[in-house]
A and B are shown apart, each in its own frame.
Chain A
Amino acid sequence: MRIAIDTGGTFTDCVYLRGGRLEILKVPSTPPKPSEAIAHALGRIRESGADLASLELVCGTTVGTNSLLQRKGGRVTLVTTAGFEDVLEIGRQARPHLYNLLFEKAEPLVPRARRLGLRERLDSESRVLLAPSAAEVAQVVRAVVQSRAQSIAVCLLFSFLNPAHEKLMARALATTGLPVSVSHEILPEYREYERTSTTVVNAYLVPVTSGYLSEIEKIAEARSWSLPANSKRAKSGRRVSRVCIMQSNGGILSAGAAASQPVRTILSGPAGGVLGAQYVAESAGFGRIITFDMGGTSTDVALLDSGSEETLSITSESVVSGMPVAVPMLDIHTVGAGGGSIARFDRAGALRVGPESAGAEPGPICYGSGEKATVTDANLILGRIPESGLLGGEFKLDFPRARSYSNRQSGPMPSAEAFAQGIVDVANAVMEKAIRVISVERGHDPRDFTLVAFGGAGALHACELAAALEIPRVLVPCFPGALSALGILRADVTKDLSRTVRLEVQTAVKEIAELHRAFATLEREGRKQMRAEGFSRESLKIDRSLDMRYAGQSYELNVPFNGDFISLFHRAHEKRYGYFDRARACEIVNIRARFTGRTPKPALPKLRIGGPSAAPAIVSKSQTLFHGGREMTPIYDRSRLRAGNRIPGPAIVTEYSATSLIPPDWSGRVDRNGNLILEPRR
């Protein structure tokens, strides 16, 4: 049985298939020890009579991200080429804020005392200039032991071209029994700082992640073991459980592999949301989507284009908590504006929203203890969220409190309502900019996309955002409460392998043989790794691509490796930068192969069909303020909606953990799976 688990800040969501039906279970999260909630959930699932034999857990985790953000990783010792021990600390030598006289650079994850130099050197053509002596290697190993490291990172210059010295060092370090992260394995690509940083982040996360993963493996094992005593499998003593982890690139990875490469799981949670959105949107017939996940403190946006070769756009230039992490991740852009973002006027009178957030404590004013106006308060004051509250009415909102506190903070605005409208508009502007970054700035026209809104507040703001960006349609997915877990359940097993080749090409024909050779090596390795994940050669899908640029540039565009990759590159360059130049030689910097092992895809359940009128789902009404004025707005209970229902705007649709707003000039319909499709009225 396969169970997808998404550990969030408040709830741990589980989604699984039972008798062909999708089931959802939500249990409270247990933040200090996330595995407890998982154990609890598995217990509940078993109590319900489900057979947990051959259990497969697929988890989205925030353990990596959180330990990085809170600086709670392991004690790392770093081995570099002698003379370059400070590369990690110098970084790219720029400062993060231009106009701040009193800025402070973040401390590097590894302090000077634990950065050790190894006397060795390769040149840029991968030739050995200085081989490390055995005595030197032994000396470094002793120093590593003395440093009381929990985890080791090794990153030597030009190892992406020739890993011999790194391998030598890693072999010697294996005697310490400590986990070793080696740069040519983690990220065999050029640019020493980015590679070192990525390798160090990996080493930093290994101790915490492997601890967490082995706990989950134990839980899974225990649950599978507690089968009826006469079970054949129980008697045979064979291992019957399997744990996988969602990676930042949208694929899943076995816990064993994730334990040694935790750097690949940093965006594990948000990646699940994106995949869930993709799954639902595709089932509804929309392949080109912009996902919009608005939570309490931040908003994640991503763009998926089924029309392009690579549906999920992937970036290798992520920066997490100030540190470059150059492994491929879904190109998810995050901005500091969410429901809990605080509004204030600055000294010259401009209204600003976020990035400061009221968080869960003290929370928005309307939660009862916060005192600063937030986006959620603004939505309440405008009548966009029903007063009856969130979580299906379990959580009441204090309207008078929100209004009176906001009134006091409304500065030059004539009323609490005008202030509230301002907060919503500014928050929308911040989010509009975020969507521009992943769409317009990357050469995509938002008019070709569908906005998929989720998270607690996503569907409250989605229609206005769509209008501002001329996005023709908003989709509010079914399963809003467990979209991420749903995405995880349906994720495929993937491995991304890459190598820097730096090959200058005039014509595709000439270099094709060499490229095929390079890919063959990569594919041997990939197939080996996928075999370990349980996929045979035949069941694998392999996508080959090239990172290309004009010889002399520094940033690459990723194009699929097929017959005419040079033309593809020129076209991609024109699309992104507005010009191309056939006279210039092209350079292939990296070759990439993505190995995908398909997992079973459950079908989404169908909603009961109803007539066009959604009136039976109306539970109350709200006085809602729109730019045009006050409107009496019906409130629909989403669980009472039926497929085929039509909802004219203005309307509010409430559900357990989210609210959708359909503005007056928009209308919605419910599709066969229960998705809400919202479009401007023509």
Chain B
Amino acid sequence: MSVDPIRLEIFKNLFHSVAEEMGAALRRSAFSPNIKERRDYSCAVFDAAGNVLAMGDHMPVHLGSMPMSVQAALRAFRLGPGDVALLNDPYAGGTHLPDLTMVMPVFAPRSSRPLFYIANRAHHADIGGAHAGSMGLSREIFEEGLRIPPVKIMERGRIARDLMAILLANVRTAREREGDLTAQIAACCIGERRLMALVAKYGSREVIAHGRHLLDYSARMMAATIAAIPDGVYRAEDFLDDDGVTDKPQRIAVTIRIRAKNAEVDFTGSAPQCAGSVNAVAAITESAVFYVFRCLLNEQVPATSGLMRSIRVIAPAGTIVNALPPAAVAGGNVETSQRIVDALLKALARAIPSRIPAASQGTMNNLTFGGTDARHDGKPFAYYETIAGGTGGGPGHPGNDGAHSHMTNTLNTPIEVLEHIYPVRVHRYALRRGSGGDGKFPGGEGIIREIEMLADVQAGILSDRRKLPPYGLRGGSPGSPGKNEIVIEGKTRRLPSKCTFRAPAGTLIRIETPGGGGWGKTRKARRAVGRKGKSPKASSP
């Protein structure tokens, strides 16, 4: 079938700008620093069957898994005009509980069949449960917070107040949640308005047809990309340090089978689902595969569901890459997803070594804390952030220092915002010199972040790569593993990679994030030159 290449490009831009516009509205009108400052959200446009047509340039871990949210909402009920579905249940279209996803149908005027869906997902700083920030060490999903199967948060344009009341009664910072949820609904409505304007202008048939063409187009792009990878079977494994409950490393095994235009990604051999919270649901695993293959396309291809057509994912149920209820899953989204990417890239490095960098920090270094703020009449607060680290050196250039990698791309909270809103003081925010792995192209440096608590808090760290370092490639050295410490009354204590603790006011939390792996053997001559501004003799801390 012949498609007008010009119209295709035009519609690609149009759909994409709908998603971007939703994102801008969400960010600008949201209330929690995690959404408005750190931009921990994503927006996308779907066709009537739930295929992604366009995604904003937001969070990779969200984007690959949002189709499952749309599917789950469609399975749960019929969405009519002015309805918005809300969900977070990892076992029904969600990924982990703090990520609240909204799905809204878009109708042509006077029509009862939806033409499109729009969805957005935002990470809320708290969704209740045993730990402030809802990211703490848990054994079961019930401890992790309020579990929301697909429900209608808005029906025919009216917000479901009773539902909202239940939700707000179960979280630590209700007022902030309400504001963020309103912003999410508003973003849906803005997306709806834009799509309806497109339909009014071009006619629904034309818009729908071009959605389909975009899917086909991305599928062709991916097929061409896979065809360029030598046929073969490429295996790799990588490990999470532990599950936070036992000390045992958790294995991610992957076999990539490339045959002509098709790829099969098989996770058979990965660890069984674990006692802690680093279990990934299938949507996360799918998302990580989507991300890695999307990176192989070096052009500005629309990130649609079409990209996955020639890729088959096998994730055995009951494993750490496809957990079943009631496993805890908060860390699957943020930590296991990164390790899945590491394993996939390691396997691909065997097939296309000149295009794959060494491992990046491989963790998001999730820090949560909450309590009550004496400065503001004992008002409760809950905060969540992730901390960047080194990215891997790659063929042709060194890794980046202090940058987020792979499945996340959130910003930091400015210190001048953080200290204004929360009872904390930041003592240091610096690059961690010498943490990047050595190599012809060395890995990037991690970060050191020191935050003093000015109130008694309940805190949690969910991190990895504290024991097993990010790998180097082609003879490059691994990056330095990260380190978590607290300092109470002058005494420094090392913390495990995953922990929840109560800390009195005056406690300093110090997180040192991993450096990236190095790429290629270092030669003496090269070492003498080193990279710009980086001391070649810097010792590993």
Which residues of A come within 8 Å of B, CB atoms? 83-87, 89-90, 92-95, 98-105, 107, 111-113, 123-124, 157-158, 160, 190-194, 345-352, 412, 421-422, 425-426, 429-430, 432-433, 436-437, 440-441, 502, 550, 552-555, 573, 576-579, 581, 584
Q: Which residues of A contact B427 (CB under 8 A)?
A: 83
Nearest chain B CB to A319's CB is how many angstroms away? 13
Nearest chain A CB to B226's CB is how many angstroms away? 12
Q: Which residues of A contact B397 (CB under 8 A)?
A: 102, 104
Given contacts A84-B429, A350-B217, A552-B31, contact A95 B415 (CB under 8 A): no
Nearest chain B CB to A126's CB is how many angstroms away? 11
| 5 A/B residue pairs, CB under 8 Å, sorted by A | A87-B429, A94-B403, A192-B415, A192-B416, A433-B13
Q: Is the CB of A95 within 8 A of B295?
A: no
CA distance A656 to B164 in the complex (A): 65
Q: Which residues of A contact B5 (CB under 8 A)?
A: 345, 349-351, 412, 422
Q: Is the CB of A577 within 8 A of B28?
A: yes
Given contacts A190-B416, A191-B417, contact A351 B401 (CB under 8 A): no
Interface membership of B162, Cβ < 8 A: no
Given contacts A89-B431, A93-B402, A107-B532, contact A348 B301 (CB under 8 A): yes
Give B509-541 interface residues, CB cut-off 8 Å to A. 532-533
Interface membership of B409, Cβ < 8 A: yes
Interface membership of B27, Cβ < 8 A: yes
Given contacts A98-B57, A552-B179, contact A436 B17 (CB under 8 A): yes
Q: Which residues of A contact B398 (CB under 8 A)?
A: 104
Interface membership of B24, Cβ < 8 A: yes
Q: Which residues of B contact A94 (CB under 8 A)?
A: 39, 388, 403-404, 409-411
CA distance A123 to B13 in the complex (A): 45
Further pairs besides A94-B403, A99-B295, A348-B301: 19, Cβ < 8 Å? A89-B401, A90-B388, A90-B429, A93-B411, A94-B39, A95-B403, A99-B303, A105-B400, A157-B416, A190-B417, A194-B414, A346-B221, A350-B12, A426-B9, A441-B21, A552-B32, A555-B29, A577-B28, A584-B179
Q: Is the CB of B186 within 8 A of A579?
A: yes
Q: Which residues of B contact A347 (CB under 8 A)?
A: 221, 224, 299
Interface membership of B161, Cβ < 8 A: no
Q: Which residues of A contact B194 (CB under 8 A)?
A: 440
Given contacts A552-B179, A578-B25, contact A123 B419 (CB under 8 A): yes
Nearest chain B CB to A4's CB is how many angstroms away? 36
User: What 1/0 flags go to B11-49 for Cβ under 8 Å of A?
Assistant: 011100100010011011111110011010000000000
Interface membership of B482, Cβ < 8 A: no
Main secondary structure of the interface of A (DSSP, over half): loop
Q: Is the CB of B416 within 8 A of A124?
A: yes
Beta-carbon nearest neighbor of A581 in chain B? B182
A-B contact count (CB 8 A): 203
Beta-carbon nearest neighbor of B20 in chain A? A441
CA distance A190 to B421 in the complex (A): 13
Q: Which residues of A contact B303 (CB under 8 A)?
A: 99
Size of the B side of the interface (Cβ < 8 Å), in residues, is 87
Q: Is the CB of B403 within 8 A of A86?
A: no
Give B385-424 interface residues, CB cut-off 8 Å to A. 387-388, 391, 394-398, 400-405, 409-412, 414-417, 419-420
- A502, A553, A584: the one contacting B420 at CB < 8 Å is A502
Nearest chain B CB to A79's CB is how many angstroms away? 16
Interface membership of B499, Cβ < 8 A: no
Q: Is the CB of B419 within 8 A of A553?
A: no
Nearest chain A CB to B394's CB is how many angstroms away? 5
Beta-carbon nearest neighbor of A574 in chain B? B186
Nearest chain A CB to B536's CB is how many angstroms away? 14
Q: Which residues of A contact B9 (CB under 8 A)?
A: 350-352, 426, 429
Interface membership of B208, Cβ < 8 A: no
Nearest chain A CB to B189's CB is how many angstroms away? 6
CA distance A584 to B430 in the complex (A): 37
Q: Is the CB of B291 within 8 A of A102?
A: no
Interface membership of B428, Cβ < 8 A: yes
CA distance A105 to B399 in the complex (A): 9
Beta-carbon nearest neighbor of B217 in chain A? A348
Q: Is the CB of B400 within 8 A of A573?
A: no
- B36, B217, B409: the one contacting A554 at CB < 8 Å is B36
CA distance A124 to B345 in the complex (A): 43
Q: Which residues of B contact A103 (CB under 8 A)?
A: 400
Nearest chain B CB to A578's CB is how many angstroms away? 5
- A157, A441, A553: the one contacting B36 at CB < 8 Å is A553
User: What 1/0 flags go to B417-456 for Cβ under 8 Å of A?
Assistant: 1011000010111110000000000000001001000000
Q: Which residues of A contact B356 (CB under 8 A)?
A: 101
Given contacts A102-B394, A105-B400, A555-B36, contact A191 B414 (CB under 8 A): yes
CA distance A422 to B57 in the complex (A): 27
Q: Is the CB of B394 within 8 A of A550?
A: no
10 closest A-B pairs by CB? A554-B36, A93-B388, A92-B411, A552-B31, A83-B428, A429-B10, A555-B28, A90-B402, A124-B419, A577-B29
- B2, B27, B429: the one contacting A555 at CB < 8 Å is B27
Most buried by B among A86, A99, A111, A112: A99
Interface membership of B257, Cβ < 8 A: no
Q: Which residues of B contact A107 (CB under 8 A)?
A: 532
Nearest chain B CB to A337's CB is how many angstroms away? 11
- A192, A430, A502: the one contacting B13 at CB < 8 Å is A430
- B179, B186, B431: the one contacting A578 at CB < 8 Å is B186
Give B85-137 interface residues, CB cut-off 8 Å to A. none
